[in-house]
Structure 1
Amino acid sequence: MRFRWRHRYLVLLILFAIYLLCYMDRMIMAAAIPFIASEFHLSAMEMGGILSAFFFSYALCQIPAGLLADRFGPRLMTTIGITWWTIFTALTGLCNSLGLMLVVRVAFGIGEALFPPAAFKALSAWFPKREVGRATGLMMTTNALGPALAPLFVAAVMAAWGWRAIFTSLFIPGVAMAVFGWIYIRNSPKDSKHVLKIELEEIGTSEKSLSASAGKADFAGLVKTPLVWWCFVTLFVFSIASWGIMSWFPTYLLKARGLSTGRMGIMASVPFLVGTIAYCITGFLSDKFFRNRRELLVVLGCVVAAIFAYLTAHAETAETAVFFQTIGYFFSTMAGCSLYTIPNVALPNKVVGSAIGFVNAAGQLAGFLSPLIVGYILTRTNDDFNVVFHLFVGCFLLASVSAWFINTRTDRSDSLARSAGADVPVQNRTAG
């Protein structure tokens, strides 16, 4: 069958670019924090505080951001979000004290919180259910590609202009992405002049109106849905480990393994580069073979990630540690991608923004706590990263147990949708 370009692919490409910049803006702090700590004379606990400041506001704003995405649609919320966080990314490079840095990073988190619910809602609106897993996987490759590029970007800019330029140099790309998002991402395919009738039929837009007249999402009904709560619990425990690794892996390579800045930039990127492949593979697998049991990929990914987190802790060389972490991150990526896909395909578009915001709040709360927990452990154990990786092992295993209780079988899709306070689209009954 010949490939035919559709406007929804351009929407996906723009969401991909925005999400990549989102993660770049977010993860450059993890790679830059050792240099900031050196200038500001910060302890490990204070470093953890800076890393967690973003997650404090990011986590608190997830549920309101989801409600706003359902109310106003992805176009407006995407534009506001990227403009907001771009401004505060640039301001991070102008900070001259720990207190000011904490305030700016908290404000930065508010802007970034607006984007994920809007992005997933856009995918739900623009793609038929049979393609949502692949679209989600492709968009979420940025969650690995961003952390992969961040250390390389930081190492290159640090060598030329210092750590402050790392943040200020991302202002213009952010403004450009805000403009592209506003022009090309509409709340519904029906609102776009670039979409032909044949594509509207493929997407099934009659079931997917995002206009205000579509009705309000029933948030009270949504939080009574067992699937949503099991996703919430699983993502919280899972993210303690995954965000801990992403936030501290560059510092681990510098301090525990003694790598230079240049080698750290290259080796810290390897697991995340491989993770981009995992997102693509997971999207395909979930749509092709696990449409009715996507939670099984979450269980498998968490178990294997736990095994390789343990092996990383006991690796004899830095190269071996990076190798083990690369395999572990591949499978943890598989788990994370599948976990975010589940609410998007199991629930109607009417409540997708609220559902993603609610579930993502768990992940970002964990993202707030994880750097603080790791910083505390390192302070009390004199920088013993083995203890930290053992914590990650336990978190991955607990997440695998919790994921087992997520039920995405099609025979329950109707009740899941009704408990979320929405009518059941026909596509939900056939797509899993």
Structure 2
Amino acid sequence: MSNVAPVLSAALRRRRRITVLLLMAAGCISYIDRAALSVSNTVVMAEMHMSNTQMGLLLSVFAWAYLAGQIPTGLLADRFDSRFLLGAGLVLWSCAQMAFGLMHSVAGLFVARIGLGLGETPLFLSGTRALVRWYRPHERGRPLGLFNGSAALGPAMAPPLLLAIMMLWGWRGMSVAIGAASLVLAFVWIRFYRDPAALPLSAEMREALPRPDAPVAGDAAQVLRDDLGYLLRQRSSWVLTAGYAGVIYLTWLYATWMPAWLQTSRHLTLDQAGLLSALPQFCGFAGSVLGGFVVDHLAARGVGPLNACRAPLVLSMLVAAVATALTTLQVGLGVLVAFMAIALFAGGLAISCGWMLGTVIAAEHRVATLQAIQNTGASLGGAMAPALTGVLADRFGSFTPSMLAAGAIGLGACVIYQLGLRPEDAAVQATIPNDPPPSRLSGVTGCNKE
């Protein structure tokens, strides 16, 4: 049965839509929490007497903590219900964000940002796992695109929202307020979300949902050998990891330094820089959402699942890299913002397509683990972008070297994806979405043959 919609009941279709909306809300709030320091960094630097280099390290420590939690959380996400794993992450990051506003030492700020990074680790891993459980392979592009789009919608919403809160309560009150909002969402998610296996469904409705994959190993040693060890031996895992590092490096540079960059290079006020940076971020959201539709459209026209993700990914990263390099030209403010908007639109599209590659290459029971491996590369790119940008800004007194470096890294990501992936890397399940999953006895597990 190729069309799921007529089979599922209205209640289940509504449950799927609400799940996507809750995940989008979580993604938006998570990136608002991350962007809070980007919007307020000049104020925090002044109050805490920090240099650009110190602020770059504070911006990047989140990503280092996020990186450290990726693989352990990915293994957990493939084995435990998204309801409680994601809920626990929401609670942890909410408390960390509120604590950030209460700290009065630089060391305390670092500790709070580490807690924020660890708490947000389950979001996209466990959230993607939830969507994989509710949507079959041929219909995942749109919900995954919307979910990934929240990573750009959050930073786009952040400047006007956070600046308004800062005007009332300062940067400390702002941190506490958005942390409290995250905590409310945590309770809503835990109260609402259910895995399909936990619901009393008819046989017909279970048939309309993705077929469960083979049971996964419970023994820790077997888990490391059969899943993590297997994926780490695959060339495609390393290609995804290295390529995604470049994608996130380029886009995260904008998310962390764009307001400060506009303030210093164009002599704008904090309010002007914050509000002006929202437009390119909204373009990033549009690109992220479009990525899901592009992948589904290419797949419907007969393009193989791997190329349906890779082709728009490589093209969009090429555009993002060139547009980023062009921001170094001496042009008017309007043209500069246009270059940033193009770069983030293309970068958002690349983020969605790159994330969907994990669902194409890995079997269902390894999706979260592979994406955790891929996300270690993303976290490395996310950690290096703000740190290196701060160092280069102090060294040269300009953001121009940072933007040229980001453009070069974006071009490198294009080469990695184009030359590193091969048609045989696509999982069997992704190429035959309506057939039952292959038996483990056959030796086919989703990436390649064992």
Whether the TM-score (by the shorter chain) exceeds 0.5 is: yes
Q: Which residues of 2 match residues 82-121 of structure 1 at below 5 A? A: 82-121=90-129
Is 2:216 aligned against 1:202?
A: no
Q: CA deviation at 1:71?
A: 2.5
Q: Please point out which of 36, 46, 51 is paired with 2:44.
A: 36
Counterparts of 1:155 and 1:408, CA distance in 2? 46
Q: Please point out which of 408, 417, 441 is paired with 1:394.
A: 408
Q: Which residues of 2 match residues 190-229 of structure 1 at below 5 A? A: 190-193=197-200, 198-207=204-213, 216=223, 218-229=227-238
Counterparts of 1:60 and 1:94, CA distance in 2? 25
Counterparts of 2:386 and 2:134, CA distance in 1? 36
What amino acid is the match of 2:33?
D
What amino acid is the match of 2:403?
F
Counterparts of 1:210 and 1:196, CA distance in 2? 24
Contact 1:132 1:345 in 2 (8 A): no
Contact 2:214 2:440 in 1 (8 A): no
Q: Which residues of 2 match residues 369-380 of structure 1 at below 5 A? A: 369-380=384-395
Q: CA deviation at 1:375?
A: 0.7
Which residue matches 2:383?
A: 368
Contact 2:310 2:417 in 1 (8 A): yes
Contact 2:24 2:147 in 1 (8 A): yes
Counterparts of 1:425 and 1:331, CA distance in 2? 39
Secondary structure at 1:369 match in 2: helix
Contact 2:256 2:386 in 1 (8 A): yes
Which residue matches 2:141?
A: 133
Q: 1:425 to 1:139 in 2, by over 3 A?
A: farther
Give the number of aligned pairs: 422
Q: Please point out which of 137, 161, 164 is paired with 1:156.
A: 164
Q: Which residues of 2 match residues 40-59 of structure 1 at below 5 A? A: 40-59=48-67
Q: Which residues of 2 match residues 141-180 of structure 1 at below 5 A? A: 141-180=149-188
Contact 2:125 2:368 in 1 (8 A): yes
Counterparts of 1:82 and 1:256, CA distance in 2? 36
Which residue matches 1:413?
A: 427
Q: Please point out which of 282, 289, 303 is paired with 2:318.
A: 303
Q: 1:181 to 1:318 in 2, by over 3 A?
A: same
Residues 192-235 of structure 1: per-residue CA shift (max 9 Å, x gap)? 25x6655432223344778969x956211111122211100101
Contact 2:33 2:179 in 1 (8 A): no
Contact 1:6 1:199 in 2 (8 A): no
Q: CA deviation at 1:239?
A: 2.1
Q: 1:257 to 1:240 in 2, by over 3 A?
A: same
Q: CA deviation at 1:18?
A: 1.2
What amino acid is the match of 1:32?
S
Which residue matches 2:302?
A: none
Contact 1:20 1:142 in 2 (8 A): yes
Counterparts of 1:282 and 1:165, CA distance in 2? 36
Which residue matches 2:279?
A: 270
Contact 2:86 2:122 in 1 (8 A): yes
Counterparts of 1:58 and 1:289, CA distance in 2? 33
Which residue matches 1:260?
A: 269
CA RMSD of aligned residues (A): 2.7
Q: CA deviation at 1:406?
A: 4.5
- Provide structure 1 residue ranges, at least 5 long, that are not aligned to the other structure: none
Counterparts of 1:133 and 1:199, CA distance in 2? 21
Secondary structure at 2:319 match in 1: helix
> Share of identical aligned residues, percent?
25
Secondary structure at 1:170 match in 2: helix
Q: Please point out which of 300, 308, 313 is paired with 2:328.
A: 313
Counterparts of 1:340 and 1:423, CA distance in 2? 29
Q: CA deviation at 1:315?
A: 4.4
Counterparts of 2:15 and 2:168, CA distance in 1? 40
Q: CA deviation at 1:407?
A: 3.0
Counterparts of 2:205 and 2:272, CA distance in 1? 47
Q: Which residues of 2 match residues 218-367 of structure 1 at below 5 A? A: 218-290=227-299, 291-293=305-307, 294-367=309-382
Counterparts of 2:136 and 2:209, CA distance in 1? 5
Which residue matches 2:399?
A: 385
Counterparts of 1:203 and 1:211, CA distance in 2? 23
Counterparts of 1:423 and 1:89, CA distance in 2? 47
Counterparts of 2:14 and 2:430, CA distance in 1? 31
Contact 2:148 2:351 in 1 (8 A): no
Counterparts of 1:42 and 1:424, CA distance in 2? 59
Counterparts of 2:46 and 2:405, CA distance in 1? 27
Contact 2:363 2:429 in 1 (8 A): no
Counterparts of 1:267 and 1:300, CA distance in 2? 27
Counterparts of 1:61 and 1:428, CA distance in 2? 24
- Provide structure 2 residue ranges, at least 5 long, that are not aligned to the other structure: 300-304, 432-438
Query: Please, what TM-score do these two structures have when normalized by structure 1?
Result: 0.91
